[in-house]
């Protein structure tokens, strides 16, 4: 799970969507979290915990009805990154969900 302290919501948006976003980390964590959820039969899984300076904490959760969509997004990213072993692993999970 990604655990990170950020200043505010703008920082959070930059972390996930900014020009220097670590997509390997984010998509890798989403994939790993869903894989764990499927192994453990979970209906949802937390993949990130964001703590803001204001004291607010944000749990980033993926629900089972979103597993296929999120895995598909991971697959698209890892195909572009030419991480073919990760693509194969994601495709196996998608097949299991079909």
- If one counts the domains in the chain, the total is 1
Q: Hey, how many other C-beta atoms are within 10 angstroms of the C-beta on 91?
A: 12
Alpha helices per DSSP H over 1-98:
9-17, 23-40, 67-80, 84-97
Domain around 40 = 2-97
What pLDDT score does 41 carry? 94
Q: Tens-digit pLDDT profile for the chain (98 aa)? A: 999 999 999 999 999 999 999 999 999 999 999 999 999 999 999 999 999 999 999 999 999 999 999 999 999 999 999 999 999 999 999 999 98
What pLDDT score does 28 carry? 96
What pLDDT score does 98 carry? 86
Q: Report yes or no on whether pTM surpasses 0.85.
A: yes
């Amino acid at each position: 799970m990604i655990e990170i302290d950020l200043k505010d919501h703008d920082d959070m948006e930059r972390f996930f969507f900014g020009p220097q976003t670590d997509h390997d980390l984010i998509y890798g964590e989403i994939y790993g979290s869903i894989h764990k959820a499927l192994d453990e039969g979970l209906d949802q899984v937390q993949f990130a915990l964001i703590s803001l300076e204001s004291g607010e904490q944000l749990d980033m959760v993926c629900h089972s009805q979103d597993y296929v969509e999120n895995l598909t997004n991971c697959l698209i990213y890892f195909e572009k990154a030419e991480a073919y072993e990760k693509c194969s692993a994601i495709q196996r999970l998608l097949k299991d969900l079909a």
